[in-house]
Structure 1
Amino acid sequence: MVVVTGVLIDWGGVLTTSLSDSIARWIREDRIDADHYHVVMREMIAHAYAGGDGESTVHALERGELDGPAFERDLAARLLTLDGVPPVAEGLLDRMFSGFERVEAMYDVLRDVRKNGLKTCLLSNSWANTYARDGWDDLFDAVVISGEVGMRKPEPRIFHHALGQIGLPGEECVFIDDIEANILAARALGIAGIHHRDAESTITELESLLRLTLRRA
């Protein structure tokens, strides 16, 4: 039986509160036409994560080939406010993600698995994000951010890169992410996958897989 000795974990929506909650807050505050936004974004995300033909601005943004301001201008031009005009492009991504909050239970899990001798790696697709990295040395053995390495999930090469950073084979690792396409890509490489929906269910699955108690009183 293979023993899991490494944890790869996403950031936004896993170590933070959900992306959908942050987006809903931004939609209210910027008075975005929500129905139009969801039509636009479903198409963009489906193309980027479901194997659509060709490359898109999402691919380029996540690999760091397109900078944040350029993507903001592109996205703003596709969207509408309730006043029927595009939203302000400058600072659009910061506003979209401003509702992210730390999920302390997930940070506690990382500390606990490291105390038990497992290696940890942050594996995050960046949308020109600014990451608050305070305390990361105590949480991660390696950090792999798509825009910094020129690769993105669900590309196999970024998983191989992350595994190389912690010196472990895929069969000895588990990957936690809130996007199913990324989980399926990891599993295809022999990495166990936990599709994150909330901290409670993820911790339960991880405890079972690692045979550890990871909950705090």
Structure 2
Amino acid sequence: MVTGVLIDWGGVLTTGLSDSIAKWIAADRIDGDHYREVMREMIEHAYRDGDGDGAVHALERGEIDGPSFERDLAARLRTVDGVPPVAEGLLERMFAGFERVDAMYDMLRDVRTHGVKTCLLSNSWSNRYPRDGWDEIFDAVVISGEVGMRKPEPRIFHHALGRIGLSGEECVFIDDIEANILAARALGIAGIHHRDADTTIAKLESLLRLPLRRA
């Protein structure tokens, strides 16, 4: 029986990353095709080799700070004018378009009222999280840069499970990155690959056998 929910933040409790990136590309006049080529290589490496030593691994584990990563990333990118973008504040500008998805927050409040434990499990890019009200929706918070581990490493899932005192078989994990879902399932955790709030909540309703959708 599922009695715990592990859940990602960016792209799950917020609007999608692609929307935020599109706004940043337009505002900073980034060469979008070149950006996608650079990021594809970095992200594929980060999730093909979860225990590796690339820049994304180091940033998400908190082994390098945000400004160091920003300088590295800015040097790889270029604007439509052919020059690197401003490094300072780059990550904040990239994620500035994230918007809170209230339906997902409502769902977390509802599952907690039914005795289901909840844990935020998020890979951080040195970003600031809007933590107001988190005591109402989370029993535990696990952020990669604060614990020195990252998804899809098995150890961060074990750490999160320990924080809420449940086994993998007692939990479901919600994330928008398939590699993370596959890693969770390998540990016996049920996985929901998030694409939109309505679909995810409907799947969770079925799994928990609880009414979660609001009129």
Partners of 2:195 and 2:188 lie apart in 1 by 22
Aligned to 2:130: 132
Partner of 1:171: 169
Q: TM-score, normalised by structure 2?
A: 0.99
Unaligned stretches of 5+ in structure 1? none
Alpha-carbon distance between aligned partners in 1 of 2:138 and 2:193, rounded to the nearest angstrom:
20
Correspondence for 2:68 among 66, 70, 77: 70
Q: TM-score, length-normalised on structure 1?
A: 0.98
3-state SS of paired residue (2:198): helix
CA distance in 2, matches of 1:77, 1:186: 34
Q: 1:8 touches 1:121 (CA, 8 Å); kept in 2?
A: yes
SS at match of 1:83: coil
Partners of 1:43 and 1:100 lie apart in 2 by 23
Match of 2:209 in 1: 211
2:108 equivalent in structure 1: 110
Code of the aligned partner of 1:90: E
1:149 aligns with 2:144: no
CA distance in 2, matches of 1:131, 1:84: 33
- Matched pairs, number: 215
* Percent pairwise identity: 83
Q: Would you say 1:60 and 2:58 are equivalent positions?
A: yes
- Answer yes or no: is the 8 Å Cα contact 1:5–1:173 preserved in 2: yes
What SS does the corresponding residue of 2:172 show, helix, strand or coil? strand
Structure 1 CA distance, aligned partners of 2:114 and 2:127?
A: 30
Q: Which amino acid is the alignment partner of residue 175 of structure 2?
A: D
Question: Per the alignment, do residues 186 and 147 of structure 1 end up closer, same or farther by CA in structure 2, a change over 3 Å counting?
Answer: same
Matching residue's letter, 2:122? S
How far residue 53 of structure 1 moved from its aligned partner, in angstroms, is: 8.8
Offset at residue 216 of structure 1 (A)? 1.1
| Cα 1:104–1:54 shift into 2, 3 Å | closer
**Moved runs in structure 1, 4+ residues, more than 4 A?**
none
List runs of 5+ in structure 2 lacking aligned partners.
Answer: none
